[in-house]
Each structure stands twice: as C-alpha cells, then as structure tokens.
Structure 1
Amino acid sequence: MSSGKTAFVTGANGFVGSHTVRLLNERGYNVRAMVRASSSLARLDGLDFQKVEYDLAAPRSIDVLIHAMTGIDLVVHTAAYVDLGTVDRPLMRKVNLDGTKLLLNAAQSANVASFVHCSTVRTLGDTQGTYAQGDYVRTDPDFASCYDETKTAAEAFVLARNQPGFATYSVLPPGIFGPDDPHFGRALRTYMNGRLPVWPAQDRPLQMVHVRDLADLFLRTAEFGTPGTRYMAAAGEITMGEIFAKLGALSGRRPPIQLPEWFVRALAAVMDPIGRLTGQNLALNNERITFLYDKIVLTDASRSFEELGWAPMPPDEILTSIAAERDKQG
C-alpha cells in the first residue's frame, strides 16, 4: 500500500473517521483531520495528524477548505449526520448532501487526485432478496428516512463528479462494528453486562463489517479501485439472534427475549407522534420500524474481494473481538 502521501479525513474524530486516521498512520500517510471546533478528540489520542477545524453544519468560505486540501492526494469523507426518527431534516440535508457537494468542489479545486465517500447500503433501498453489487440500480421508490434520502443523493453526486484527474468512489458499509462503536456496540455491551432482557426482530438478516476493515477498504478502493464505482463493504451475514447466541456463549448471558412484531409496531405507533411533538428522538419510531421489519438491504461484496484483494474478518471473528474488547475494558 502507498506511503508518503497525504490524506484528508472528514469526521476524523468519529467512530469510522478515527479508525481511518489510525490506519492511515500505520500505512505511512500524512493526515489532515477535519473536525468541528467543539469536537472531542479523545478517539484520536496518540495519533499523528494535523487538525483542520471546519463544520459542515455552519460552513465558512470554500477557500478555507481549498487551502486545507492543497497538497492532498486522497480525501476520505466519513462525516455525516446519522440518525433515524425525529431529526433536524434541513440540517441533515445541509450536512449530508450540501456538505458533500462543498467538499467535492473544494477537493477538485485543490487538485486532489482521489475522493472516497463513505456511503451506506441504505442508498440501495429494499433489495427484495437480491444481493446487490456495485452496478445495482435501485428499484425501491420510497426512502425509509431522511438519512437514506440525503445519503443517496450525496452518493449520486459523488459518482457523477468522477472524471480524468479526479477519481471518485463510493464505499457502502452495512452495520459497522468494533471498539467504541456508538450504535450497535452500545446495545451489545449492555447485553454482555446482563442489562438487555428484550430485543426485537432477532430473525432479521444483518450484514456487518469491522470498522478497521472498512477503513482498509477505503484505502484499497483509492489504491486499486475503478474510478466512478461503488464498492460493497459487507464482510458477512448474520441475524441478531445469532449475534446474541455467540456473545451469550462468550459472556455467559442468556439471549434476550424476542419481542413480537405486533407489539413493537404498536409501541412505535404511540412513541413516534410523541417524539415529533416533543422533539425527542425516542427509542422507537416509524423509521426504526421500517429499518427493523420493512426494508431489508442485502449486498454482494465479491467485487471488493476480487478486485481489491479485501479480506475482512467474518462475523464470527468480529463478535469474538467485541467480546475480547469488553473483557479487556472490564
């Protein structure tokens, strides 16, 4: 892999961004890390980077970004407003869509060679049992959430900007797991600590990837990928029930009781309007119901394996590493 190059990482203090910075350090890259002025840099402790303060939610002149990207070989764009349910929809569009456009314009003006966008499998919509590859054409006419809609539009814009001298790529992760995971990881740690008695939709198929393998795929995509292409980041498939069974065997916990679908839907029907009225993003809402039961996205990452030589940890190893990390932290 390349060394001696300079990479610019957006959302560098986040879960995915920080692991990307760490891997870039290991691969010999110089790193410029874009963060908000108010951001905690705890995840970046001990890493080597030059801090660039910029907020896509309150953007300054594009000239600030162009200056920060001058001399950059690669942009890895991981910054995003990620949530379901009661969200600030105009702000989400500003960050996820307008922010991506701004970064692309700045990168091209600064003569950056490669731009890798961290997208999401949700841009594919419900794949109706089909395992989508990079050339999959979305057939689902409806968006499950504002997040899905804004990321889909951003991805289309990224790929449309590909041209000679400015290579753009999109990497589509499914569920992202690993140390300090603020999403799935929080629930799994709660379970292993014996405080998660119930969980819905345990038969739902779930594809997963370890965050470090996702970072590796970003770099492989920029190094070996075909410009203007989408690469799937699914390391394997599992169900939540199987996840609980594996982690239960490692931690000595009984699997949580599966809540019936009718009960979860009824509860969400009550909680969704309450959340909208109060401005609170409650644990259940209509968008989460759609995610749990109504729109299942399945992908085929064979292009990433074969074209890029990507060799991620399979689900069983990911879960073993999560349990080991929990034991180490106590």
Structure 2
Amino acid sequence: MIETVPDKPVLVAGASGFVGSHITRLLVERGRRVRVLLRASSNREALEGLPIEIVTGDVLDPASLHAAMEGCDTVFYSVVDPRFWLTDQTPIVRNNVEGLVNAMNAALACGVRRFVFTSSMGTLGIDPDRPVTEDVPFNWHDRAPPYIRARLEAETRFLACCRERGLPGIALCVANTYGPQDYQPTPHNGSLWRVASGQQKVAVDVAQPVVDIRDVAEAALAAEALGHIGERYIIAGDFVGARDFYAPAVARRGVPMPRFMSYRLAYAIAWVAERWARLLGRRDSLLTTDAIYLSNVFRALDNAKARRDLGWTPRPLRETIEDTVDWFAARERNLTMK
C-alpha cells in the first residue's frame, strides 16, 4: 500500500471529461491537493467551483506535460479521444497513443510514485462461454475497428513501459460508464436520457457491461493506494440487456418503453447508411457498422481481481440509472429556467 503525501499535489489529465472530472471531484472530497491539465479550449463546466490548480497544456505538448507533473505524487491519466466515428483516424492515434507516450515519459522524468491509467474494456479478449478476466488475451484483431486498435496499442505500450522502464503504473479496463454530472453528455449516457425522457423511441436489443462513473473514480483512488504496479484491473459491474437496463429509467419518468430492433436489423441499417453516406460524400457519421458491432461484442466481465486487490465494490445498477435520470431531469429544468 502506498501512503499519500498530503502536501504534494496529484495531477488529473483529462479532468474535463466524464471520468477525469469525477476523479477530480473525489480527490477534492478526500482533501487532496489537486492539479489538472486542461487544453485552453476545454469545457470546464464539470469542474466549476472546485478548489483546484489549473495548468493549461496538451498531452501532445511534452513541455506542458512536464510542467504539469513537476512535484506531483500521482498522475491520474484519463485522456481519451472516443471519436470512433471519424473517417480520418489520425487524431485517434495521436491523442490516444502518442499523448499517453508523452505522459509516461514526463512521469518518469518527474519521478511520480503512481500513474493510474484509465484504459478500456475494449483492450480485453472475448470469451463467449464465461465472464472475461484480465488474463484473456486480445483475440479479435481481425474485427476490431481503428478506435479499439488504438486503445489496445496505448495499453500495450503502457504495460511495456511499466515492465521495461519502471513506470509505477496501474491500468483500469473500464466498462461503459453511466452516472450523473455528465455535462457533454457522453453517447451512452445521452442515449439513456433520451429514452428516459421519451425522445428516443427505438433502441437496439443488445447487452453491455456497465459501471457507475462514481465507482470508476473510487477504483482509481483505490488503484493508487492498493493496485499492483504493471497490472490491469477490470472495472465493471452488471452485464445487462437493453430491456432490463431501460426499464428502471422509463419507470422513473413515466414514459413508455422504446421499441426494440434486433442487432441484425440495426447492423443492416448501418451498412446501408454507410454506403449512402459515401455516395453523398458525407463523412464522420455516427451510424456505422463499427458502432453497431461494438454495441454487442462485449460480454460479462469478471471484476473479482478489483474486488480482491482494491477492495472495490460497484453499487446497484438501479441506483446508477435512477441517479443519472434524476440528474439529467434537474439539469434540463435548470437550463429551461435560465
């Protein structure tokens, strides 16, 4: 177990995002001295009112990373470019891979004691017969879209840096995140709210591993104190089908359940939409076969390692869904009143 040093700051990179902002908020609640790295263009709404030190920079700018990490005890790295829909995937590789490499180099130069990396369940292998553990090797290279391959390369380099260069790092393989205080909102959370508010009338009948964003933040702090260097931990709660997932949300708001289409039908629609978009010269469509594929490729994940090593326990799924719906409803009311 690593003891925290109260007078030394910790750095959160990616603090304006969903995961990073929740890690930042939890660190502040725990009385930690928090520094965040933000781009000049970052939306800071999720951080408003927090007593934090802001350093303006970019993970693609090594000098700004070094300045942000100077004197820090721990780095919580939650920078991710999730835009899997981009036609030009160059930014995905630069932001998800090159940015992490720059951050690891800066962390080694600055002598940080822990580097907690928010990775993805997309780096895990697939096993249709049993819940997936961290030991299942990645086994779907032939079907993985560029976004997943970039996340895999990032995590592979991260673990190699821990093994070969002594980076004191721990990786968290995080499932689809839901929860309150999502100001963007993220695609998954946004879809949940659209269903709960009656705006989205149709959903795809698939299943997914999910986790509360607040539990992800708890896992990050637990990984700092208790995680084993060079290891990765699955941070996932329930594996739930769309019908069971949306039921508490629509009940909370008193709206009808959406109609459900099969995975095959959704994939066929996306296949046609992709080709139609190409004919019209359109780029960066959200409705792609890759998106539909990713909505259904993951199966149950085994979080036993995180429970054992980190003392981590996810909260009940209904609590996550109801808190999320309530937060979006309150936010919508506040925006309407302004």
Q: Structure 1-normalised TM-score?
A: 0.91
Tell me how far 1:34 sits from its aligned partner.
1.0
| Distance across 1 between alignment mates of 2:4 and 2:132 | 30
Partner of 1:68: 68
Stretches of structure 1 that go unaligned for 5 or more consecutive residues are: none
> Which stretch of the first structure deviates more once superposed, 133-142 or 107-116?
133-142
Partner of 2:26: 23
| Distance across 1 between alignment mates of 2:234 and 2:36 | 25
| Distance across 2 between alignment mates of 1:224 and 1:81 | 28
Residues 129 and 53 of structure 1: is their aligned pair in 2 closer, same or farther, counting only changes over 3 Å?
A: farther
- Any conservation in 2 of the 1:118–1:170 contact (CA below 8 Å)? yes
> Which stretch of the first structure deviates more once superposed, 124-133 or 190-199?
124-133
Name the amino acid aligned to 2:229.
P
Match among 214, 217, 223 for residue 215 of structure 1: 217
What's the secondary structure of 2:55's corresponding residue? Answer: strand
| Distance across 1 between alignment mates of 2:134 and 2:126 | 15
Name the amino acid aligned to 1:188.
L
| Distance across 1 between alignment mates of 2:43 and 2:86 | 24
1:36 is aligned to 2:39: yes
| Distance across 1 between alignment mates of 2:112 and 2:69 | 7
Residues 126 and 281 of structure 1: is their aligned pair in 2 closer, same or farther, counting only changes over 3 Å?
A: farther
Deviations 1:97-123 (A, max 9, x none): 111111000110111111111111011
Identity %: 27
Tell me how far 1:275 sits from its aligned partner.
4.0
| Distance across 2 between alignment mates of 1:213 and 1:197 | 29
| Distance across 2 between alignment mates of 1:261 and 1:207 | 16
Partner of 2:193: 189
| Distance across 2 between alignment mates of 1:276 and 1:173 | 33
Match among 309, 312, 319 for residue 310 of structure 1: 312
Name the amino acid aligned to 2:189.
G
| Distance across 1 between alignment mates of 2:200 and 2:273 | 20
Count of matched residue pairs = 324
Deviations 1:112-163 (A, max 9, x none): 1111111110111433233222222222232422111011111111111125
Partner of 1:321: 323
Residues 275 and 39 of structure 1: is their aligned pair in 2 closer, same or farther, counting only changes over 3 Å?
A: farther
> Which stretch of the first structure deviates more once superposed, 132-141 or 246-255?
132-141
What's the secondary structure of 1:310's corresponding residue? Answer: coil
Partner of 2:229: 227
Stretches of structure 2 that go unaligned for 5 or more consecutive residues are: 334-338
- Any conservation in 2 of the 1:248–1:255 contact (CA below 8 Å)? yes
> Which stretch of the first structure deviates more once superposed, 106-115 or 313-322?
313-322
- Any conservation in 1 of the 2:239–2:299 contact (CA below 8 Å)? no
What's the secondary structure of 1:231's corresponding residue? Answer: strand
Tell me how far 1:51 sits from its aligned partner.
1.2
| Distance across 2 between alignment mates of 1:130 and 1:24 | 35
> Which stretch of the first structure deviates more once superposed, 279-288 or 153-162?
279-288
Partner of 1:82: 82
Which runs of structure 2 are paired with 1:175-324 in the superposition (5 Å)?
A: 175-179=176-180, 180=182, 181-200=185-204, 202=205, 204-276=206-278, 278-293=281-296, 295-324=297-326
1:45 is aligned to 2:45: no
Residues 165 and 124 of structure 1: is their aligned pair in 2 closer, same or farther, counting only changes over 3 Å?
A: closer
What's the secondary structure of 2:295's corresponding residue? Answer: helix
Tell me how far 1:29 sits from its aligned partner.
1.5
What's the secondary structure of 1:311's corresponding residue? Answer: coil
| Distance across 1 between alignment mates of 2:253 and 2:104 | 45
| Distance across 2 between alignment mates of 1:275 and 1:130 | 38
- Any conservation in 2 of the 1:143–1:149 contact (CA below 8 Å)? no
- Any conservation in 1 of the 2:125–2:137 contact (CA below 8 Å)? no
